[in-house]
Amino acid sequence: MRILADRNIPFAVEVFSQFGHVRLASGREITPEMVREAEILVVRSVTRVDSALLEGSPVRFVGTATIGTDHIDLRYLKERGIVFADAAGSNATSVAEYVTAALLYVEQRDGISFEGKTLGVVGVGNVGSRVVRKGLALGMKVLRNDPPRAEREGPTGFVDLERVLVEADVVTLHTPLERGGAHPTFHLIGEAELSRLKPGSLLLNTARGAVVDNPALLRALKGGRLAGAVLDVWENEPDPDVDLVARTRIATPHIAGYSFDGKIAGTRMMAEAIGRFLGAPFGWPEGLGAQERRSTVPLQGEGREAVRSAVLSAYPIGEDDARMRGILDLTPPERPAFFDRLRKEYPVRREFHQHAPPGGISDESALEILAALGFVW
């Protein structure tokens, strides 16, 4: 069996080779010529998989080691009888921890606290549900907005988008990108929605770039009505608007879900799906991906300060932001390759459960919050 995989999928060769010969390629450079030599294609979010890529190829299985499917023409795959699998949920914890670190980083830098403030979570699926739990752990009030879930489950526990916009101090987006259907999310946050956001609020987008109208957001940030924006995803990736990058509170290159643990989970889910497709047993190679656990993170100060010190030691999100801002010094032709290189060379980031506070800590309130955020000891 011939397998073509994105080279940014960790351990793709080591894991997928039990099913056949594995060829790796850069996700943005996968061509129709390449897929004509493969029966199995495994991608990440940067590869558009549609008739233009697959027509005339022998591909019988397509997998994406990510939680989104807006880059996949699912209707075409179904028409062709091509089996499809995604890795929904694989990096949900990673993204929720990104949001947590972003909030605490803004707190630390601005000398504020979001405790007691209102968090509006738009999209309460695998990721959004975890964000809700972490927001509650940080002492925030939470508003949940998810029209598809409200239709299926009833309105209890959900609010409409208008209420989120006017009441939330922080709005964080976790929807898929849908351009049609009953609940489109393309430019879900546009000029009108931005104008209704609570003055001084903070907007976070870790979903897809086009869920927010980027030019409209830039105008809103220039107007000073919002406290700022935290953006991990951008319209026109890998060439984001550098004026928007410069105006954000935190800017990162689509890496919110890039924890080592999340990426490994995506690889495992793809291997399991290929195994089911082929009717072949799947075994994770012994010791593969094992890394020494960092046993402790520092707790500096007490209470909220201690929580911030632990979270920002486990995930120093400010370093991601600093690396991203290197794009501001580049010429336009250099920027896309730089954006992709930041993703390709992203340092190992472990999730909170791989960290523990030092022993002998008597601040029970801080320890309770850290436990609720996912730290273990």
Q: 286 and 14 in contact (C-beta within 8 Å)?
A: no
Same domain, 134 and 76: no
pLDDT in tens, 203-220: 999 999 999 999 999 999
282: pLDDT strictly greater than 90: no
Q: Note whether residue 235 is domain-resident.
A: yes
Q: 211 and 189 in contact (C-beta within 8 Å)?
A: yes
Same domain, 22 and 123: no
Using DSSP's 3-state secondary structure scheme, residue 88 falls into coil
Reported confidence tier of residue 94, pLDDT bands at 50, 70, 90: very high
Reported confidence tier of residue 356, pLDDT bands at 50, 70, 90: confident
Same domain, 205 and 107: yes
Longest dimension (CA), the chain: 65
Task: Kindly name the residue from 237, 249, 323, 335 that is annotated as catalytic.
Answer: 237
Same domain, 245 and 181: yes
Reported confidence tier of residue 293, pLDDT bands at 50, 70, 90: low
| Mean of per-residue pLDDT scores for the chain | 95
Q: Note whether residue 283 is domain-resident.
A: no
Residue 361 is predicted with a pLDDT of: 67
Same domain, 188 and 110: yes
Count up the domains in the chain and report the number. 3
Task: Kindly name the residue from 71, 130, 149, 208 that is annotated as catalytic.
Answer: 208
Tell me which residue range forms the domain holding 43: 2-86+259-278
Alpha-carbon dihedral of residues 214, 217, 221, 225, nearest 10 degrees? -170
Reported confidence tier of residue 95, pLDDT bands at 50, 70, 90: very high
Q: Note whether residue 60 is domain-resident.
A: yes
What CATH number is given to the structural domain containing 168? 3.40.50.720
Question: Is 254 an annotated catalytic residue?
Answer: yes
16: pLDDT strictly greater than 80: yes
Q: Note whether residue 230 is domain-resident.
A: yes
What CATH number is given to the structural domain containing 365? 3.30.1370
Average pLDDT of the residues in 283-294? 75
Average pLDDT of the residues in 277-300? 79
Q: Note whether residue 293 is domain-resident.
A: no
Task: Kindly name the residue from 44, 254, 323, 335 that is annotated as catalytic.
Answer: 254
Same domain, 148 and 234: yes
Same domain, 115 and 54: no
Residue 62 is predicted with a pLDDT of: 98
Average pLDDT of the residues in 282-294? 76
Same domain, 245 and 98: yes
Same domain, 104 and 177: yes
Same domain, 96 and 186: yes
Average pLDDT of the residues in 26-33? 96
Angle at alpha carbon of residue 203, lines to 147 and 341, rounded to 5°: 105
Residue 295 is predicted with a pLDDT of: 57
57: pLDDT strictly greater than 60: yes
Q: Note whether residue 294 is domain-resident.
A: no
* Residue type (1 letter), 9: I
Percent of the chain with pLDDT over 70: 97
Same domain, 131 and 239: yes
Question: Is 237 an annotated catalytic residue?
Answer: yes
Average pLDDT of the residues in 142-162? 98
Residue 358 is predicted with a pLDDT of: 67
Residue 355 is predicted with a pLDDT of: 87
Same domain, 223 and 340: no
C-alpha neighbours within 13 Å on the C-beta side of residue 212: 29
Question: Is 345 an annotated catalytic residue?
Answer: no
Average pLDDT of the residues in 118-138? 98
Q: Note whether residue 292 is domain-resident.
A: no
Reported confidence tier of residue 288, pLDDT bands at 50, 70, 90: confident
